[in-house]
Amino acid sequence: MMMGIQLIKNWNNSMAKKETDLKGITASPGIVEGKVLIIKNPAKPVEPKRGCIIVTTFTTPVIALALTEAAGIICEKGGLTCHAAIIAREFNIPCIVGVKNTLKRLKNNQTIILDANKGKIYEA
C-alpha cells in the first residue's frame, strides 16, 4: 500500500499519460471521475443522472435540476459569472467553462476525470 508523497506522485504521473488538450477556466474547484452526459439542447428538460459529468455548450434554468445531481459540469461557453458557474459553486460541483470542442471530442458514457482545480480534462 502506497501512502503520502509516493501515492501523490504516482497519481500525478498516471494522470499525465491520459491528459487531453481540453482545457478551460475553473468556475468551481474540485476533481471528479464520472461518465459523460452530453446535453446538446440545454433549452430542453433533461432527466437527472446522479454522478454524471454534464457536457454542454451552455446551461439554462431548464436543466438546473440535472446540474444539481451531476458530479461535474463542463461548458464550451461561459465565464466565472455564467449560469453554470453560479450553480456549480452553490452546490459545490467541480466545473470548467470555456472549453472549446467538448461536444465534438467527448462521447456519451465515456469515463473522464474532470480536474477543475487545474481546468483540465483527462481520459480515464
Active site residues: 83
pTM here? Answer: 0.86
Domain 21-123 has CATH 3.50.30.10: yes
Give per-residue pLDDT as tens, 86-104: 999 999 999 999 999 999 9
Please, are residues 59 and 44 in contact by the beta-carbon 8 Å criterion?
no
For residue 33, how many other CB atoms are within 10 A of its CB?
15
Taking CA 105 as the corner, what is the angle to CA 9 and CA 44, rounded to the nearest 5 degrees? Answer: 115
Strands, E assignment, the chain: 19-23, 25-28, 31-39, 53-56, 72-75, 95-97, 111-115, 120-123
- Domain map (residue ranges) of the chain: 21-123
Give per-residue pLDDT as tens, 35-89: 999 999 999 999 889 999 999 999 999 999 999 999 999 999 999 999 999 999 9
